[in-house]
Chain A
């Protein structure tokens, strides 16, 4: 009997409809999860992200890479080519060895990060660059000069946010005050921010 009364009240007052309308109202007021990528907003991946390779320099500006070719040995897909040479400092030994050719085929690479692990001087590290689209196959091979340029995303920035695209696009170093703190996944109780 109570059930029948409840059903009648629900039907007469359209309570089911109101419940549904409130759900959509909640979504209307919630934030959109669509990004205006690539024009206005772009996503900065988390720190653990493995993207395009970068070669690094030490504080004096000298290349860290000593062309030991361990990355070549570690690479499961043979996508890295290293040709060593001696530079003009005149010293002998490991210190004056640099890479004459250091190129990576980004199409063959499977972004496993073994080269990063194998590198004894931490010269090669996988950056967070993921915009690798190009119009011909020549664009998929990164030479040493291109790999030595600095990534627009600071290496120790934790990431996982959306920023205005112009900071990335114009290769401006992102400064902390420009970080538009916007989590990709809306924070929900029971789920920590770093997943």
Chain B
């Protein structure tokens, strides 16, 4: 019989898993609504507005539709892999959130119990994230392969090639983050950037902004969104790897895509924008009372908005352009940037606030 303390720890852990998992499962509902509304606004339309106030119940209606539709498995498809693929696409992306810190430790009032706002603080957090997110491509390639359709096959192949190309640049960007912050744990990465936006990794001049851009572009490619949505290029591949999917399996694949978008936004915030850190530090005293989770969510929301905005602004790249950007620009650039980061780390490891203090300027 384990002691009562162990049981409480396990219970709290399970509760956190349930909350995060439930939130991620429900996240695509509002996200699809926001995306469609935003698409409408950008194209001077209204977006969904018939179901419920402002069309807010539209995603629910879509969900009901997805539930009651016939679940078709093509006759000549590899039915085991076909059914496995949506799960394989979804599970790794959910697993990323095991190491993501959403805020600092909070103490529950009255019972004085300390709860950390992450599931685990893994000391190799970044490596875990990269390893797990790389597995998500199996869902796409299995889905494309098992459908036994040439469009799905091409989509799956494209997604594999794209993921392999951009995984390298993304890993290098993660190495850059590790060098800038000096830790592999995501919690330590966030705490190393605390104290206002001048301390954030994105402003670790001169290499920070470059790492940010590399990670952003590689992330866009990793989550298969415009401008890098080659695997589901409507113009040339119908719907790419999920062309044969219907009903709930299709819903799972699109859920995986939305959660991937959230996960890239979360990683960008944790790696470069100081996670839950208050942007103005303690410059404005009243902002200290804003809960840190709010800052985290705000930054993630801003990134998600940016991704959607980007989707309805720019066209997709051609396939050879995609490969050129990946291999000929991003990877050499990130290699050179690793060198530069190393040099700076050895000879001039200063953040902007340090420089400001040296010239006698103390903001906070």
Contact = CB atoms under 8 A, between A and B. Distances in A.
Interface of A: 14, 17, 20-21, 23-25, 27-28, 30-34, 36
Contacts of A30: 44
Contact of B314 (A17, A31, A33): A17
Interface stretch (B35-43, B178-186, B349-357): B35-43
B318 interface: no
Interface residues of B, number: 15
Contact of A21 (B45, B46, B313): B313
Nearest to B38: A28
**Most A-side CB within 10 Å, residue of B42, B49, B310:** B42
Instruction: Identify the interface centre among A25, A28, A31: most chain B CB within 10 Å of its CB.
Output: A28
B309 interface: yes
22 contacts: A14-B213, A17-B313, A17-B314, A20-B314, A21-B313, A24-B42, A24-B313, A25-B309, A27-B44, A28-B41, A28-B42, A30-B44, A31-B44, A32-B40, A32-B44, A33-B44, A33-B45, A34-B40, A34-B44, A34-B45, A34-B46, A36-B49
Q: Which of B40, B44, B45 has the most CB of A within 10 A?
A: B44
B25 interface: no
B314 A32 contact: no
Contacts of A25: 309
Nearest to B311: A24
A32 B38 contact: no
Nearest to A21: B313
B48 to A, nearest CB: 12
A75 B213 CA distance: 71
Contact of A24 (B40, B45, B46, B312): B312
Contacts of A27: 41-44
Interface string B215-230: 0000000000000000
Interface string B30-60: 0000000010111111100100000000000
Nearest to A39: B50
Given A17-B314, A36-B49, A24 B44 contact: no
A21 B314 CA distance: 8
Contacts of A34: 40, 44-46
Q: Nearest 10 A-B pairs (CB), nearest first?
A: A24-B313, A28-B41, A34-B46, A24-B42, A34-B45, A33-B44, A32-B46, A20-B313, A27-B42, A28-B42
A32 B41 contact: yes
A23 B313 contact: yes
Contacts of B46: 32, 34, 36
Nearest to B50: A39
A21 B40 contact: no
A36 B310 CA distance: 27
Nearest to B217: A14
A14 B43 CA distance: 23
A31 B41 CA distance: 8
A17 B309 CA distance: 11
Contacts of B42: 24, 27-28
Contacts of A17: 313-314
A172 B96 CA distance: 60
Contacts of A23: 313
A35 B232 CA distance: 32
A20 B226 CA distance: 14
A27 B309 CA distance: 11
Contacts of B313: 17, 20-21, 23-24
A36 B43 CA distance: 16
Contacts of B40: 32, 34
A156 B293 CA distance: 60
Interface in B138-192: none
A38 to B, nearest CB: 12
A52 to B, nearest CB: 28
Contacts of B44: 27, 30-34
Contacts of A20: 313-314
B86 to A, nearest CB: 32
Contacts of A24: 42, 309, 312-313
B45 to A, nearest CB: 5
Contact of B309 (A21, A32, A33): A21
Nearest to B43: A27
A32 B45 contact: yes
A25 B45 CA distance: 14
A3 B141 CA distance: 44
Nearest to B315: A20
Nearest to B41: A28
A166 B268 CA distance: 49
A24 B309 CA distance: 8
Which of B40, B43, B45, B213 is the most central at the interface, judged by chain A CB atoms within 10 Å of its CB? B43
A71 B38 CA distance: 53
A14 B44 CA distance: 26
B307 to A, nearest CB: 12
A34 B298 CA distance: 31
B16 to A, nearest CB: 36
